[in-house]
Structure 1
Amino acid sequence: MKSMLPIIFVALSVQAEGSWRFLLLADWHSAEKYTQTEKNPSWLDETIAEDIATVAMLKNKFGGDLILMPGDSNGGHWDTPNFIKNNYPGATPEEAILKAGHFCYSGMVDSFRKGGYSRLIMAVGDHEIGDNPWPAGSVVSRCQPQFREAFAKEFNRNPDGGRFLYEQPVGKASSRPLGTTYENTSYAYRHKNVLFITIDAFHQENPDEKIGDEGSVTGTVIGPHLQWLEEVLAEARKDSGIKHILVQSHLPVIYPVRKVNSSGMLMDDGIESAFWKTLRKHGVDIYFAGEVHANTVTKDPESNVVQLVSRGNFFNNFQTLDISDNRIEVTCYNQLGGKASDGEYEVSGRLLIDKSGAGVRIEGEGELAVLDPGARHLHFDFEETVPLVEQPIMGTANRKKEDPFKLRGIKCARIVPNRGSFGPHYSALTTHVDLVPGMQGMAGLFSEQSRLGVFAMGPLHGDRAVSYALWVKTTSLENQILINTGSIWGTELKNFFNLNLDDGVPQVMVSEHQTVTAEDVEKLNDGEWHHIVAGMPSNGCRLSEVEIHVDGKPVETRLSGNDVKLHFNQAVRLGIGGLNYSNKAFDVLPVKPFVGCMDEVSVWTRGLTPEEIKVAMGFKGAQQR
């Protein structure tokens, strides 16, 4: 990722002649307070006034005709006994949801209107339907209709007469999928030379039936819903006045994406889904998503469809999009500090989609640099450590529930910079890791008190492949943990992908009782440098198929425990040399902190070729991706 100099904007950015602008604000997450409107606590007026002041600042300083919002405005746990007891005693969950939704969404819409934006085009996120997961047979699963009704009534219908706001057909296609569950939450809306299509991607067939990892709800667009989308896109392509087609939903499709403090849900089947193939077929320009609280731009490998996953998070990040007939220019802004209404933001990324030539030119930089899904996402070379205050990591500031600067009780005031494609927000918090001569420049010297952990999440997710590579030097006889991927939300000791060194023998552990261990290899705890690669050859492989390379050569492996198809927790933080960010449940694992030296620690979300292993080892002349 290219670095960008911060620019503090004190006036409206200049727009190209003939262009117009809208703002992108995903995962705002600040509307829950409006559910308290009826109770009217003493703090409410002040926080609402701050919302209005911030929106007014955005309008005055950055302009824009409307705001696009790819989901997640609130907490949404309105079906729970605690929420009902504290707010609407005696109400049924259905009644509580409708009442809370009315206050939440009408208050939010009113504040944005007072600030200057009368058009909010918002997609349903998981928090708009009660927050994931949705266990089969649960109250939150049963109340999906009420969650949608509360949302649609305030966002998509006229408050005076209840008329749907976006009824203008697209050619011969209806503006919304009439007769489906989504007829009030999925719709097409044309503004000037752009067709916006908003998709409610949360599919449920039966509240008592589990259909995916999240329970009775999964992320997909199928059946009549997909057929409607196909019809709208086909009709839009016949209209010469529609220069760009922009689709928004809540869930990312192209993997991997950066993730911070999120449940990390993605759309089912990724780019192989019928939904994505439909966007590709009809040449959609940008697919907008949120959910993961981080910015990632990715280009579809088979077309010019761009996926832009972004973050809003209490106004601390947003994007402007300047639209002309043949260009889309995206600028990402990051809050510098203080109150959002102060308006102090820096430019943290730019993206250009230029269709003026024979082809389509797509260029990005900073936080909006176009990510190569096959690149080395994490790479710690240990050439330096940097004070955290000089290179802050997104998500580590102003947290109330925990001190993010501590790993396993020890404060971390420095970072080891991430040189991989996931960029500086995946730098690792660290302490008690000394820099000493290594295999390539400097290396990290670890003791039992060392800490090195990545606050941002992932990149493990579902059945997607992952590969690790690193140099190690140790004399320890213990079963040492080299790379840990413990869940930050749950306590189950499974669905992770850890690399250990058990008395000098490399071992991959995926649960407390399931491992793959290198066979017939010389022990690597001889005080010399050795290179280890451990990874999956393909998505969805079995534990027995995991490959281990030692000093560049493949080795035989031995399976312990049941052989399973690998499937990972999607909300993990990566730790190096110890358990670091993983929850206390991981303390029962039969591992000890690493004592020795590490160098060139790297992570990919795919399998590696023999040539790429040579690159990871630092061989001269090897071709690097």
Structure 2
Amino acid sequence: MQRSTLATAVLTCTLALGTFAAIGGTAAGARPPVRADRAAIETGPATAPSQLPRPTDGASPEPTREPDPAPTAEPTQGVTGGPAYTFVAAPDFLNQDVGDLRTLPTWRAGDPNSWTPQLESSIDVFLDEVADQDPQAVLVPGDLVEGHWTKDTGGTGIFGPSSTTRDKVAMVRRAGNFYHSLYRQRFEERGLDLYPAVGDHDIGDNPWSGPRQAFKREHVGVFKDLFATWYLQERDGSPRFPDRPRHSPWEDTAYATSLSPDVLLVSVDVFHRTRNDVRTEVVGKQLAWLRQVLHRAQERGTRWVIVQGHTPVLGPVRYRSSSDLGLRGGAHSPFWRVLERYGVDMYLAGEVHDTSVRRAGGVTQVATGGLLYKAEATYLLGQAYDDRLELEVRELDGELTGAGGKLWQLGAYRTNGSRELTPGSSHTVGTLTLRRNGDQEDGTGKMVPLGR
């Protein structure tokens, strides 16, 4: 049965009480479960992501200002001959809704929970290793959450009633605020600077066509608003990244920023909602904006240009436990032609939960990532030098521990909650060097380019 309206009112009224108290045990060596702020679940974050970095290109949030010109100083190597810039990419590593529901006032004894000590331990193991790499940025091109928030399959009422369209929208917002807040907090507490792109699960998961998907399709904007609020906005609601496709459906979810004087990141939103579907494509004002951004970078002589988006463009690629979404038109799409024209160094994608490298028109695509709950958690370590990008993909192993079983999610889909990553199990599954002229060298393992 769904909770009564009184219980929903309790949820609404008590959300302003502050941070949840820690409840429940943890796996050996794991942190206590990360807690969400009650008020944030109902209304979104009360403050900006204060530990998420501001753009380094000096651009103002004023809507009329263009990005500042490139620095005149010559780029330099690290002081000891090391990389000038280090980043990690970890798409799809969670792809679950993980949070301790026992902290909510609507949770009752006997209700399900979207948390297990094994998952909490695994998240700690994974993100602690990422932090140990001391990256200056962590790129996550999509699928930060599970996102099946349009139906309360078991009628639990944990995120409120779902009888009417208005109820469902409120339920999506409560669930989204809860799980996004926890995701962001896990990065903040480790001092990791997060640069995400929208994935299909972040907007409810595919498919979106047909009458049964009408509510999800028609409310894609609600999902994107949640994503932007938690990751891409300042405390006053202004954009975290001023350089974005303004006055377009993607102005809150696509952005460009200089990670350093040598490294430009462009994050695209590959999801285009139409009347009857959501298409995987970069078109219209977003494509025009992308062309302008890359043209400026080319004029400035930006050393390294990385574009990230959720879906691969070139195929086929390896995939595991994935619907294997790809961008419409592939190498012949207007999007890829723009990347080729302006000499983009790397297109970084997720979605497929495995690693592959392909190349077309001088642009290298790296599709990577792996699911934590399947003990296949994967990250890419990137090191930018003056003359090359060194790329290494690492994967962590794990095993079934305890009786966690399937993890409850608001929708019908259930994922494993009892696998636990093994500390120290990380191993290299592939390496590759990209030269400034576009050449690929020293490919090993899964980073050996396909199609050669």
Q: Same fold (TM over 0.5)?
A: yes
CA deviation vs aligned residue, 1:254-310 (integer Å, no higher than 9, x gap): 11111211111110011111011001000000001111111110011xx22000000
Amino acid across the alignment from 1:195: L
Contact preservation (8 Å) 1:31, 1:104: no
Amino acid across the alignment from 2:239: F
Q: CA deviation at 1:343?
A: 2.9
* Separation in 2, partners of 1:132, 1:164: 27
Q: Secondary structure at the match of 1:237?
A: helix
1:156 aligns with 2:235: no
1:351 aligns with 2:409: no
**Pair 1:329–1:142, CA change in 2 (3 A):** same
CA deviation vs aligned residue, 1:81-125 (integer Å, no higher than 9, x gap): 4177442232422111111111111111101111231x1111111
Q: CA deviation at 1:31?
A: 4.5
CA deviation vs aligned residue, 1:429-478 (integer Å, no higher than 9, x gap): xxxxxxxxxxxxxxxxxxxxxxxxxxxxxxxxxxxxxxxxxxxxxxxxxx
Contact preservation (8 Å) 2:397, 2:422: no
Contact preservation (8 Å) 1:78, 1:84: no
1:135 aligns with 2:196: no
Amino acid across the alignment from 1:270: G
Q: Secondary structure at the match of 1:122?
A: strand
Structure-2 residue corresponding to 1:308: 366
* Separation in 2, partners of 1:262, 1:49: 24
* Separation in 1, partners of 2:309, 2:130: 23
Q: 1 or 2 for the larger relative contact order (CA 8 Å, sep ≥6)?
A: 2
* Separation in 1, partners of 2:87, 2:351: 20
Matches within 5 A, 1:346-495: 346-355=427-436, 359-363=437-441, 364-372=443-451
**Pair 1:141–1:71, CA change in 2 (3 A):** same
Contact preservation (8 Å) 1:56, 1:116: no
* Separation in 2, partners of 1:341, 1:98: 34
Q: Secondary structure at the match of 2:379?
A: strand
* Separation in 2, partners of 1:82, 1:259: 28
Structure-2 residue corresponding to 1:255: 315
CA deviation vs aligned residue, 1:51-105 (integer Å, no higher than 9, x gap): 2453223212x22111111101221110124177442232422111111111111
How many percent of aligned residue pairs carry the same amino acid?
A: 27
**Pair 1:190–1:205, CA change in 2 (3 A):** same
Residue in structure 2 matching 1:95, options 160, 170, 179: 170
**Pair 1:83–1:161, CA change in 2 (3 A):** farther
* Separation in 2, partners of 1:100, 1:121: 22
Structure-2 residue corresponding to 1:224: 285
Structure-1 residue corresponding to 2:272: 203
* Separation in 1, partners of 2:282, 2:369: 23
Amino acid across the alignment from 2:219: C
* Separation in 2, partners of 1:79, 1:49: 29
* Separation in 2, partners of 1:247, 1:34: 31
* Separation in 2, partners of 1:51, 1:334: 14
Contact preservation (8 Å) 2:363, 2:438: no
**Pair 1:204–1:42, CA change in 2 (3 A):** closer
Structure-2 residue corresponding to 1:178: 246
1:57 aligns with 2:129: yes
Contact preservation (8 Å) 1:252, 1:289: yes
Structure-2 residue corresponding to 1:105: 180
Contact preservation (8 Å) 1:135, 1:141: yes
Q: CA deviation at 1:346?
A: 1.1
Q: CA deviation at 1:341?
A: 6.2
* Separation in 2, partners of 1:43, 1:18: 40
Amino acid across the alignment from 2:129: M
Structure-2 residue corresponding to 1:526: none
Structure-2 residue corresponding to 1:280: 340
Q: After the TM superposition, which of the residue ranges 32-41 and 231-240 deviates more from structure 2? A: 32-41
**Pair 1:18–1:290, CA change in 2 (3 A):** closer
* Separation in 2, partners of 1:326, 1:296: 23
Amino acid across the alignment from 2:256: A
Supply the RMSD in Å over aligned alpha carbons: 2.3
Amino acid across the alignment from 1:369: V
1:116 aligns with 2:191: yes
Structure-2 residue corresponding to 1:612: none
Structure-2 residue corresponding to 1:292: 352
**Pair 1:321–1:84, CA change in 2 (3 A):** farther
Structure-2 residue corresponding to 1:450: none
Matches within 5 A, 1:42-81: 44=115, 46=117, 47-48=119-120, 50-60=122-132, 62-81=133-152
Structure-2 residue corresponding to 1:188: 256
**Pair 1:285–1:98, CA change in 2 (3 A):** same
Task: Output the TM-score relative to the length of structure 1.
Answer: 0.51
**Pair 1:229–1:76, CA change in 2 (3 A):** same
Q: After the TM superposition, which of the residue ranges 90-99 and 265-274 deviates more from structure 2? A: 90-99
Q: CA deviation at 1:50?
A: 4.7
Task: Output the TM-score relative to the length of structure 2.
Answer: 0.70
Question: Unpaired runs of 5+ in structure 2?
Answer: 1-79, 400-419
* Separation in 1, partners of 2:296, 2:154: 45
* Separation in 1, partners of 2:100, 2:81: 41
Amino acid across the alignment from 1:78: W
Structure-2 residue corresponding to 1:322: 383
Amino acid across the alignment from 2:228: A
Q: CA deviation at 1:49?
A: 5.7
Amino acid across the alignment from 1:306: T
Q: CA deviation at 1:135?
A: 2.1
Paired residues in the alignment total: 336
* Separation in 1, partners of 2:129, 2:89: 15
Structure-2 residue corresponding to 1:464: none
Contact preservation (8 Å) 2:346, 2:365: yes
Higher CA-based Rg: 1
1:271 aligns with 2:331: yes
Q: Secondary structure at the match of 2:299?
A: coil
Structure-2 residue corresponding to 1:237: 298
1:20 aligns with 2:91: no
* Separation in 1, partners of 2:141, 2:156: 31
* Separation in 2, partners of 1:227, 1:87: 43
Contact preservation (8 Å) 1:316, 1:335: yes
* Separation in 1, partners of 2:273, 2:325: 15
Question: Unpaired runs of 5+ in structure 1?
Answer: 1-14, 168-174, 210-215, 376-625
Q: CA deviation at 1:218?
A: 0.9
